[in-house]
């Protein structure tokens, strides 16, 4: 998981300055729509939907908005246009790889917006597969950092996983995506507070940025991509020192 800690820290620092509540609501609502479309509208039998609803509630999305999103996903409420899940790939400043997941009702608009964001920071939107081979998709279960790490390891073994990292007051457990529900429920059964569950693209190799100007352009590109309405997630293989990362957010 080389570079994973650095990327997680970057994401957390960015989250502290992200106050665009409306965009967060739209993103979480779209995740509910897609989860309901793929697995049905009953949270009890649809772990992806249940997780999306939990995130939406934690973000303060009203219950009626959540119910409306479920209805759109199951087709019981008409929506303006169907949403399509698309993965985009490209290179940013310094040769940093970007893997982007989008939910869109207009793939031409989304591609144009992405291309403009890349071009502005000296990167380029590439063809499918140009960087995808550098990433693997894993399930990530985030729990409050354990007091007794040995006992925590025993709980992980009970869940049939043993890869984890502790950083900034939380522990992130990595598992195969299909095992997310099992791992989450096992950790809960052992008394741990599960803060989040998600599937995440993790880079298998990294590009270290040491130049401040390049680092700034990479982070500006991340911000620009994440601020697009259609974008659900952005993964990259960048890594940089804590000192350089902190300098970007002074």
Quickly list DSSP for 204-243. Answer: SS-EE---HHHHHHHHHHHHHHHTSTTEEEEEE-EE--HH
CA pair distance 33, 42, nearest whole angstrom: 12
Give residues with Cβ within 8 angstroms of 34, minimum separation 6.
Answer: 73, 83, 85, 103
CA distance 94 to 76: 47
Domains of the chain and any CATH numbers: 2-74 (1.10.10.200), 84-133+206-248 (3.30.70.980), 134-203 (3.30.70.980)
Rounded (to 5) percent helix, strand, coil in the chain: 50, 25, 25
pLDDT at 110: 94
Output the pLDDT for position 36: 86
Q: What is the overall mean pLDDT for the chain?
A: 85
In angstroms, the CA 24 to CA 61 distance is 9
Q: Give the chain's count of helices (H) and strands (E).
A: 9, 10
Q: For residue 132, what pLDDT is reported?
A: 94
Q: How many CB atoms lie under 10 A from the CB of residue 133?
A: 10
What pLDDT does 2 receive? Answer: 41
DSSP string, 44-110: GG-HHHHHHHHHHHHTT--HHHHHHHHHHHHTSS--SS--EEEEEEEE-GGG-EEEEEEEES-HHHH
So what's the pLDDT on residue 1? Answer: 42
Contact predicate 227/179, CB 8 Å: no
Return the closest-CA partner of residue 196 out of 147, 140, 235, 153: 140
Task: Lay out the sheet containing 124-125: strands in order across.
Answer: 124-125, 84-91, 97-104, 231-236
The pLDDT value given to residue 156: 92
**Pair 196, 58: CB distance under 8 Å:** no
- Dihedral over Cα of 100, 224, 4, 237: its sign: positive
8 A C-beta contact, residue 145 and residue 170: yes
Q: Which residue has the tokens 């990259």?
A: 236
CA distance 152 to 155: 5
Question: Can you give the pLDDT at residue 68?
Answer: 86
Q: What is the pLDDT along the chain (250 residues), one digit of tens a residue?
A: 444 455 555 555 455 444 455 667 777 888 888 888 888 889 888 888 898 898 888 888 888 888 888 888 887 766 566 778 899 999 999 999 999 999 888 899 999 999 999 999 999 999 989 999 999 999 999 999 888 989 999 999 988 887 898 887 899 999 999 999 999 999 999 999 998 888 899 999 999 999 999 999 998 999 899 888 888 889 999 998 878 877 776 5
């Amino acid at each position: 998981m080389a570079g994973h800690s650095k990327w997680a820290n970057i994401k957390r620092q960015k989250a502290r300055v992200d106050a665009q509540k409306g965009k967060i609501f739209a993103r979480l609502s779209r995740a509910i729509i897609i989860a309901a479309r793929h697995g049905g509208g009953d949270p009890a039998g649809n772990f992806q939907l249940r997780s999306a609803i939990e995130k939406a509630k934690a973000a303060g999305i009203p219950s009626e908005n959540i119910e409306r999103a479920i209805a759109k996903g199951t087709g019981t409420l008409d929506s303006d246009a169907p949403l399509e899940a698309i993965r985009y790939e490209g290179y940013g400043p310094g040769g940093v790889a970007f893997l982007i997941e989008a939910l869109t009702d207009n793939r031409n608009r989304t591609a144009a917006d992405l291309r403009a964001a890349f071009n502005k920071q000296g990167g380029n939107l590439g063809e499918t597969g140009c960087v995808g081979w550098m990433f693997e998709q894993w399930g990530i279960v985030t729990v409050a950092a354990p007091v007794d790490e040995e006992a925590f390891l025993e709980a992980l073994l009970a869940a049939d996983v043993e890869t984890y990292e502790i950083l900034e007051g939380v522990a992130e457990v990595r598992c195969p995506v299909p095992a997310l529900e099992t791992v989450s429920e096992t950790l809960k059964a052992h008394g741990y507070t599960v803060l989040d569950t998600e599937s995440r693209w993790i880079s298998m190799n990294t590009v270290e940025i040491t130049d401040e100007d390049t680092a700034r352009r990479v982070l500006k590109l991340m911000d620009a991509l994440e601020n697009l309405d259609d974008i659900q997630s952005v993964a990259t293989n960048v890594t940089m020192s804590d000192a350089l990362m902190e300098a970007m957010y002074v």
